Amino acid sequence: MPAVGEKTLIVGCTGRMGAMLCSGALEKGLAVTGIDIPYDDDLALACENVSTAIFCVPAAALEDVLTRICPFLPEGCVVSDITSVKERPLRAMEEIWNGPVVGTHPLFGPKPDRSGDLPVAVIPGRGADEAATARITSFFEALGFRVFRSTAEEHDRAMACIQTMNFVTNVTYFALLAGHDELLPYLTPSFRRRMDAARKMLTEDGPMFCGLFEANEHSHEAVRRYRGMLNIAAAGDIELLWRKAQWWWQADAVNDRKA
């Protein structure tokens, strides 16, 4: 756990993820304080004795919020974020803050299933030695999350495949079928399950995912790779794709890989 006397500042403490981190930290007895827009509080007082500042704001707003808050942070404070992309946010933090920078990405939402695995990617940036990285790591571990190290590029390439393509394939599929009333009598249980699974992503979180698509420098590469798979299907080699997809259900091997 963080050393006695260390204080973590949550910037964006009333947002969904920020509120979850704040409440979790308080439940664990950690020293935590929070600020949020319009940031009219006494920022010097809010940032006093802060050893770690975690910015829980959208990637598109991160640079502006960093510029607003960082002048009030004490020297040596570790600045971090929780955005779903890492290359651009890390560059922004490194340009604006002269101290240690550590990017993070909790790979779950604001209401996580505490009975499951809750991983957090941690990406040390410029000036982040082991002590600085440990401040961030220990905060998330104290909340019961599993931390693993990554690099910004590795993270963003992975998220372009897992997060971005999950959105792209769903939005493209449902856009393809939109407006075709003649299809409605033919909806199957499997189609309805897919609709249910995609509902929140496409009705509530669409703007967020569109923003993440633009913010991730590897999004277009992932789409091009997917287009290559569609070309295989268009050529009639659907069984080839089906056999390749079986990789995900090779029970023992895939469970080991996901563990």
CATH 1.25.40.10 assigned to domain 7-150? The reply is no
Give the model's pLDDT for residue 4.
34
pTM (2 d.p.): 0.89
Quick one: how many helices (H) and strands (E) in the chain? 12, 7
Per domain, the residue ranges of the chain are 7-150, 153-248
What averages of pLDDT result for each successive group of 10 residues across the chain (259 residues)? 67 96 95 92 90 94 96 95 96 96 96 91 94 96 96 98 97 98 98 97 94 94 97 96 91 58
CB 139 within 8 A of CB 56: no
Q: How far apart are CA 120 and CA 220, in angstroms?
A: 25
| Backbone dihedral region for residue 75 (phi beyond 0: left; psi -120 to 50: alpha; all else: beta) | beta
Tokens standing for residue 110: 């604001």
Residue 255's pLDDT is 59
The enclosing H or E element of 55 equals strand 50-55
Give residue 33's pLDDT.
95
Q: How far is CA 181 from CA 172, 177, 184, 190, 250, in A?
A: 18, 9, 6, 18, 38
